[in-house]
Structure 1
Amino acid sequence: MLTLCHPGICRLGEVGRSRAGRPLLLLTVGPETAHERTRDVLVVAGPHANEAAVGGATVLRLAGQIAEACRSGSWDGSTWHFLLCIDPDGAALNEPWLSGPYTLRDHYEHFFRPCAAEQPEWLPHEGAAGSAMLPETRTLVGLLDRLRPVLQCSLHGIDVGGSFVQLTRDVPGVPERIGKSAAELDIPLESGSSDAFQWPSPGPGVYVMPPASDPAAGDGAHSTWAHAERYDGMTAIIEVPMWACDRAADTTPHPDADRALRTAGAALRRDLPAVAEVLARLDPETIGDDGPLLRTVRELVGIGPQLSAEWDPAVRPPGAAPLPEMTTARVTSIEVYAQRIPLRAAAMLRRIAATPAVTALVDSWCEAYETAYRPRWVPVADQVEQQARSVLAVYEELLL
């Protein structure tokens, strides 16, 4: 529709194919000739399969807004490129959830997220076994190399929590902009994200990734986020919640962080083995071939013990970096994470074999999730609005 309404401004093309042969589509908004544009921006939707729906809606919302600006003469010279879904194969496995009802239980009824090696934004480690780049990753890296964007935005989401932005470079003004937008939409800011546990934060809901040489950068050092920097570009990872948890924004000191962290770590080390036990009891014929769901379940139950090593006082290695200030927001993010990971594993195992044992785990853990955090659904329109505003906030403040 956009290409029909805005001929000469919007162009849609295929830039690659997924592992299953689905087209990877790029929507470009701006002038057709390179000499007419001043800079390029790349926006990537659907890097995680369970987050593709809102990101897809956000890119269409942004593309329409920018196309209208071009048509009306208020365009600033940038050409925007929207990769509509970088993992269409994974997104297809989440499609049943999109028709609703929008409850946590129904979300996990149809949940899928691929194992780390099959997520398009992660670059293979040099020399690692099976280190060939995914075709989706190759397409994204090729776009970064060709476009050399001043800004790459990666559109993500979380199930329960708040909105936040991770940046590969500090951009003054962004915390104020996203904070104002979140307040208007009644979405809490994720003010202690476990995804950026040791990253500096210039303001609530904003985190700056350390240099790739710093161990605190974590997986980000081996990602397409960092790849953009070789052309003096930067990346913003934009996260919005499906369900809001107001405790995610509480920056007061937690009353008993040590006990809470130990409890969360113990739960994680208890619950993932519970999934592993159910998996071990299943008939191999029931499990079937080594498909994407099973590969992720096996990965999650296999890496369980190391997931809490960064923050659980019971298992932190000697000489580990000191914990940051443990606010209620930061402890809540860790507690959510400790419940989320086993639930994901159980939910995906249930899609493979809906036995009474695994169904009971999913039912009880979903109920516990809702009881612990009392999450409230964020309307899709508000999720899209917050994500779109965050993209524009980073872009506009970057160019000041």
Structure 2
Amino acid sequence: MSPLPELRYPTVTEVVASAQALAAYRPALCTLRQVGRSRAGRPLHLLSVGHARRAVLVVAGAHSNEPTGLGTLLDVAGRVVRDRTLRADTAWHFLLCADPDGASLHVTPAPRSLFDYHLGFFRPAGHEQPEWSPSVLPPDRLPPETRALTGVIDELRPYLQVTLHGTDLGGSWVQLTKDIPGLAEPFAKSAAELNIPVETGASDAAGWPASGPGVHVMPAPGAGAAYPSMPDDARNSTWYHAHRHGGLTAIVEVPMWASDLVDDPTPHPAPAVALRHLAGRLLRDAGQVRRVLDEARPRLVGVDGPLLRAAEWGLDLVPGLAADWMHTAPADDTRAYVGSVEAFGRRLPLRAAAMLRRVLAEHGDPAAPRLERLMATWSDAFAERFRARWVPLEHQIRHQSRTVVAAALHARDRAG
């Protein structure tokens, strides 16, 4: 693994302070207002730059373990303030953090390694994630963060919503709810310039058509799911809410550590066999975490909270997902896709172990050191297998920022 980054990811508090300073510096151009509160009462802030009716909405912090977007949001906002042409006929709006409660629980601002990153890991269970909750919950049970986000979309009616995501180890890719012609070229050019691999077979977009390498367009409603067991459907998420107003959503993913194994479009010699092997390892790895949980559960009577719920939720996904990999034809036959699935299979039990370890350590449970040793072994094996190399933070931000602006310009041409 690469040495400690010189820079670190900003906290939500720092992002809010920067937005306040920007609004104070350019009060005629920028406004900062509260648009809701989280479940724990934390404010949700929206920074607006410009006054045109045509709008772009940029959302950061939807997944607490994907910190690059906070820095990217500030970078794009500063660029819009400096470049009059970007706001000549478009107002830009920035939801500073969609899940501040989650951000308060993920605590790795400058990870030195994958193990270090996972020591402070948190990612909520699916139904507690602001963007994903509408795909698994009825409308009357949606969390306040989701209602705030959809309320902003309904108010602004953006022609483009960009939501800033990331991955711990892999490559960069874009998911679109509608195609943006012309985006693939600047996206690929930016990635190449910064030596960031393009994840051409991202498992998150398994079975989606591509408008260019790493640019995946969501299938039309009614298309079959690549992983039938997965409980959510992106077409029911907040990504699709912009469609009510004629808009679309772009999800821009960037890696913290890069791996060229997810950037190989050549055919895999036996993808189905490989996926069955990966399914077996997923079951074995998750089984080790499940046994620790089952052993510790009698000692955790009365213990609850987002970390434990998320760990259990991740473990509950495993049997169905492994069955999908064993019994469903691969959505893609490339080495890049098999590599992306392998990364997913290593990631899921590691994350569950990381969050369960935090719960056990907090309560002084004797099983916590065992999970920590398992995390260290899995993190090192993950990094070694994928030949992980740190992507400088400024490169993560620059690539994501460039892609956001390119998506806005090309989508504006599409919208007319």
DSSP-derived class of the 1:11 partner: strand
- Report 1:65-104 matches (<5 A): 65-70=79-84, 75-95=87-107, 97-98=108-109, 100-104=110-114
- Unaligned runs of 5+ residues in structure 2 are 1-20, 227-231, 362-367
CA distance, structure 1, for counterparts of residue 138 and residue 87 of structure 2: 47
Q: SS state of the match for residue 97, structure 2?
A: coil
Contact 2:134 2:238 survives alignment (8 Å): no
- SS state at 1:239 partner: strand
Aligned length: 382
Structure 1 SS opposite 2:314: helix
CA drift of 1:101 comes to: 4.0
CA distance in 2, matches of 1:231, 1:115: 29
Check the 8 A contact 2:206/2:332 in 1, yes or no. Answer: no
Counting only pairs closer than 5 Å after superposition, residues 15-26 of structure 1 correspond to structure 2 as: 15-26=35-46
Of 292, 299, 317, 2:306 maps to 292
How far 1:289 sits from its partner (Å)? 2.0
1:225 corresponds, among 239, 258, 274, to 239
Give, in angstroms, the shift of residue 7 of structure 1. 1.8
Q: Give aligned-pair identity as a percent.
A: 48
The letter of the residue matching 1:178 is F
Q: Distance in 1 between matches of 2:176 and 2:411?
A: 11
The CA deviation string for residues 255-313 of structure 1, in whole angstroms up to 9 with x for no partner, is 33233211111011111121111011115445752100000111111221111344x2x
Aligned pairs for 1:144-159 within 5 A:
144-159=153-168
Under a length normalisation based on structure 2, what TM-score does the superposition of the two structures give?
Answer: 0.88
2:56 maps to a residue whose letter is V
RMSD of Structure 2 on Structure 1 (CA): 1.8
1:83 alignment partner AA: L
Aligned residue number for residue 62 of structure 2: 47
CA contact (8 A) 2:174 2:250 kept: yes
One-letter amino acid of the structure 2 residue matched with residue 158 of structure 1: T
Tell me, what secondary structure is at the counterpart of 1:199? Answer: coil
Q: Which amino acid aligns with 2:127?
A: A
What SS does the aligned partner of 1:160 have? Answer: strand
Q: SS of 1:49's equivalent?
A: coil
1:140 to 142, 145, 149: 149
1:125 Cα shift?
5.2
Separation in 1, partners of 2:34, 2:204: 32
Q: Report the CA distance between 1:76 and its aligned residue.
A: 2.3
Q: For residue 280 of structure 2, what is the aligned residue in structure 1?
A: 266
Equivalences for residues 1-400 of structure 1 within 5 A: 1-31=21-51, 37-51=52-66, 53-70=67-84, 75-95=87-107, 97-98=108-109, 100-124=110-134, 132-216=141-225, 219-282=233-296, 284-286=298-300, 289-310=303-324, 312=325, 314-316=326-328, 322-354=329-361, 355-400=368-413
TM-score by length of 1: 0.91
Cα gap change, 1:372 to 1:393, in 2 (>3 Å):
same
For 2:16, the equivalent position in structure 1 comes to none
* Alpha-carbon spacing, 1:234–1:263, altered in 2? closer, same or farther (3 Å): same
C-alpha separation in 1, matches of 2:62 and 2:289: 26
Determine the C-alpha separation between the residues in 1 that align with 2:42 and 2:345: 34
* Alpha-carbon spacing, 1:336–1:131, altered in 2? closer, same or farther (3 Å): farther
Q: Distance in 2 between matches of 1:371 and 1:79?
A: 45
